[in-house]
Structure 1
């Protein structure tokens, strides 16, 4: 059994048993909490009737203390149950990923779809049934955006950068429990994906705390303490203390009226800050060996200042504000010690010291989270290999398969390289309809992408040089811009040619090019295009039904013909999806048209 599959199944079983035990404890604690409430009410009522104010206050305080202790323990057990439920969900998703059943995952990264991108649309990088949908385990806005940048090859990496990423992904692949803890800690708050632009705007702006904040709160706190003592000694009636609390409430509102937006801002982002703090703490506590992860972790320390300690300080401040609405305990603190005024002053101090660094810390967090997502492949598919990166132009693989097809994937060996003094630069792929040509082009493309992001590839062995990937496979009409599918194809080809002319090291994947025109123009256009691309240093694959194009192999030694075939069994068409050398010798269009009901025996 696959080691990842066994791990996931064991984790699911273990946490299902844990949930059963937790449910029993939670039910018992619920009964105890109810008992404490009823007991405090009964005792409090007795002292109230006997007008024993001191014992009344004492009984309420003791009762609340016990209730809070039990409530904290109760909430911890509920949180433990949620964590186990999340762990089960994460491990089930891992099993689905291995089996190729990830298509029901809700987060498809559809906002990153871009039909004008050189390859992401054709290679199913984002959207339904995509690579993003398969591997993504990021739970924050920064992680998702960084993962999208990596998968889009926003920056073409160097060989050294790829090797460093491979080391980091190998290491993270083995830290499966730690990676799952990252998911759990951020998912519990359910808000890490929220837009925090306003929070970052606050962090990078300058504020000012008025001197009145340093004097007035202390005066009213002193007044409150004196009032409590006088009421306890029965020198003043309890109604006087209530009046003092009301005055304090008004003072807090007056002092913080200009900062109500800040209170609202942090109230709405409390869960985000907690999620970010949890993630950064886990990253800081973990020991890394790979150079890339060490470098990222080092960015969280600035001299003697630790990002984690500063974020924990911010979280502590925000925790108080988070309960400011509808919470009786918080209200009691606010009218007693004017807590809002001190919290806001501390927030301003935090901003002046750390505000400009906040975005950088979160971007480091997002990059580690994105690498952790990619490392799902490293753990789940231990039969895959890490590619070798070469300087000379080559793409070579043994038993290469499409990484997103699961058990249905068919592997093929393939090579475009220098052999016997001849460098093969273009592979012409012919074959009948549905035989696997387009899937094979995507197989090579997506494995190249995985190579460049430092991930393992779906192959027994794989080697390549570093290219800019360009595809032309799924061109379609655009009614809004009055563009036909043929013209859309021309526009993509234009981008490809311009990239090659500019000196980019291009690897192209062209599927049935110029299919929107007549056979003569299609043949001539494809022949000229292939020549032009190779003359500008490009390499790639071209699928075609134009068998005459295969004759180029006789006059151009840098072209190699490959094909896919079909066979028939019990009068039914079958495919083995195996790549063979040479041009196709079979066709199935007529058979497929007959299946559609077209009768070739009738006179037209």
Structure 2
């Protein structure tokens, strides 16, 4: 299925449906006006005729008819909202295809960690990041799960990655189902920081100690009975109406007393009611969907409880239905009045406690499964959108081999290269002039490794890699608050790399212009010693450098290989082809760039 065609066709379908709904909605709007006018006219007409029976009858009829039409109107508005969200979903798909995803508001900026082994250097989060390209999560659980797998908080085995590949490939083909998941989330969830607290509140509540509510229900039944007996007595004239008001005041005090330890719970649920509804519908989608891949089946098992035959779908729907009665317990006048007569708060607390007693121990697992499906569905955008990408082969050997590898974030602008690091070769030294593509190529390799470990396809014709702990040192800067210079910041990152190597980790490193903050002699010596130390510890990787003398290492050590990028000139203008070549760089452009900046190199200077 062609992604571009799919997104465009769906946008056109939704727009046509919205036009249809607008016409129907306009007709309903006029119907509401006509019914309202008839209501006023009938009341006036029969009142002037002094016929209260017909006045009340016709008045009731038109009010009921008006409410029915309002209900229909609201359904049409809900349908319109769904189509508007579908347009947003498909337009986001087009932005991914067109390379305009960097305009997405959610950049995952709170996950930026300059001390992480690779995420900061490889633009995993933040502006123009891999997170922006992939993320379509609609739940906080899904967003957190996506951030964790992008950061590799847990290291998967080659077998697990293979299972994830099959799962992501399967979800990639279920594009309509994935869009339903997004739709259900966007209809109800406000993706703000507040939802993080809502998710945590829900988890904490499910694990909290249960409250004894049996005696409270008995007290509530007694006062409800007293209240209705008093109302009947008032109607037949044996009790003054003022006593009813006094009784309702007593009811208010009793309700507050019986629910004093649950006020925060009721308030919290009045706020997160839409979120719970969305969770309920998403989990129902997951439970109802048939999946073939082993990994997806394992996740689905988290929402099943074979022992007690509990259906996550039914129980979450039940929780959502309970919450439908919560209302705005802090400000809704209708709710407060109803509460005084039927003690709804007491029964809500009772129902919530019963639900928690039965399902609380499973809720965490259900939400975890929902988050994993949400995250994997986001990753599954890649095989659907970029059908020219291919799944990598993850092996036990220490190799990185790729044919026509491209930078995933650059899209069609990426220049593709073939790269091989295998057998006895441990380190590739990449030289080249300024702006020739060295740093971009390092990120190209790094990002495709990250995608490989996600179980996602990579931007390459073929890609084969070993399982590594990825370490980078590419983008260091001063930290004035901690009195750290950029050079010292670089030293700290190198220290982490060396410590990882000493611990016996299978390390793949990407080092860009190392030790650039010191003099040329120290830089050359330090780089040479570091490279040898890393190779001796079993680490492999790429090092970009302007230090051409470092290329002499290839002559003395067959574990090191030189490759380069270069520039060329047309009409005295510098140009780059960004193609990786064998050997050391034989070109330089610093003087040319300085001249372009206006620096005048004269003989007497």
Residue 403 of structure 1: SS of its match in structure 2?
coil
- Report what 1:549 is aligned to: 550
**8 Å contact 1:252–1:340 — kept in the other structure?**
yes
Q: How does 1:391-430 map to 2 (within 5 A)?
A: 391-418=396-423, 423-430=424-431
Cα distance between partner residues in 2 of 1:53 and 1:158? 80
- Report what 1:512 is aligned to: 513
Q: CA deviation at 1:211?
A: 4.2
Give 4+ residue runs of structure 1 displaced > 6 Å after superposition: 44-61, 227-247
RMSD between aligned residues: 2.7
- Report what 1:93 is aligned to: 92
Range that drifts further, 112-121 or 241-250: 241-250
Cα distance between partner residues in 2 of 1:416 and 1:237? 94
- Report what 1:305 is aligned to: 310
- Report what 2:216 is aligned to: 213
Residue-by-residue CA offset, 1:69-122 (whole Å, 9 max, x unaligned): 333322221111111111111111111111211111000000001000000000
CA 1:345/1:44 → structure 2, altered by over 3 Å: closer, same or farther?
farther
Cα distance between partner residues in 1 of 2:59 and 2:348? 27
- Report what 1:569 is aligned to: 570
**8 Å contact 2:217–2:346 — kept in the other structure?**
no
Cα distance between partner residues in 2 of 1:83 and 1:441? 43
Cα distance between partner residues in 1 of 2:47 and 2:219? 35
- Report what 2:484 is aligned to: 483
**8 Å contact 1:447–1:458 — kept in the other structure?**
yes
Q: How many residues in Structure 1 have an aligned counterpart in Structure 2?
A: 599
Q: CA deviation at 1:47?
A: 8.3
- Report what 1:158 is aligned to: 157
**8 Å contact 2:478–2:484 — kept in the other structure?**
yes
Q: CA deviation at 1:53?
A: 9.0
CA 1:88/1:592 → structure 2, altered by over 3 Å: closer, same or farther?
same
Residue 457 of structure 1: SS of its match in structure 2?
coil
- Report what 2:591 is aligned to: 590
Q: How does 1:430-449 map to 2 (within 5 A)?
A: 430-449=431-450
CA 1:147/1:171 → structure 2, altered by over 3 Å: closer, same or farther?
same
Cα distance between partner residues in 2 of 1:273 and 1:54? 46
CA 1:29/1:227 → structure 2, altered by over 3 Å: closer, same or farther?
farther
TM-score normalised by length of structure 1: 0.93
Range that drifts further, 27-36 or 327-336: 327-336
Residue 326 of structure 2: SS of its match in structure 1?
helix
Q: 2:218 aligned with 1:202, yes or no?
A: no
Cα distance between partner residues in 1 of 2:64 and 2:34? 14
Q: How does 1:68-467 map to 2 (within 5 A)?
A: 68-191=67-190, 193=192, 194=195, 195-196=197-198, 197-223=200-226, 251-303=254-306, 304-324=309-329, 327=332, 330-331=335-336, 333-418=338-423, 423-467=424-468
Residue 263 of structure 1: SS of its match in structure 2?
helix
- Report what 1:521 is aligned to: 522
Range that drifts further, 433-442 or 55-64: 55-64
Cα distance between partner residues in 2 of 1:49 and 1:252? 46
CA 1:329/1:229 → structure 2, altered by over 3 Å: closer, same or farther?
same
Cα distance between partner residues in 2 of 1:543 and 1:448? 18
Residue-by-residue CA offset, 1:122-145 (whole Å, 9 max, x unaligned): 000001110001110112111111
Cα distance between partner residues in 1 of 2:446 and 2:204? 40
Cα distance between partner residues in 2 of 1:521 and 1:172? 52
Residue-by-residue CA offset, 1:330-358 (whole Å, 9 max, x unaligned): 45643443322211211111122222322
Q: CA deviation at 1:25?
A: 1.8
Cα distance between partner residues in 1 of 2:500 and 2:226? 75
**8 Å contact 1:248–1:335 — kept in the other structure?**
yes
Cα distance between partner residues in 2 of 1:567 and 1:137? 41
- Report what 1:499 is aligned to: 500
Cα distance between partner residues in 2 of 1:499 and 1:328? 62
Cα distance between partner residues in 2 of 1:575 and 1:266? 59
Range that drifts further, 493-502 or 547-556: 547-556
**8 Å contact 2:267–2:330 — kept in the other structure?**
no
Range that drifts further, 504-513 or 241-250: 241-250
Cα distance between partner residues in 1 of 2:48 and 2:226? 29
Residue-by-residue CA offset, 1:254-284 (whole Å, 9 max, x unaligned): 5434432221111111122112112111111
Structure 1 stretches of 5 or more lacking a match? none
**8 Å contact 1:186–1:192 — kept in the other structure?**
no
Structure 2 stretches of 5 or more lacking a match? none
Residue 288 of structure 1: SS of its match in structure 2?
coil
Residue-by-residue CA offset, 1:21-65 (whole Å, 9 max, x unaligned): 111222222333344455556666788999999988877765554
CA 1:48/1:498 → structure 2, altered by over 3 Å: closer, same or farther?
farther
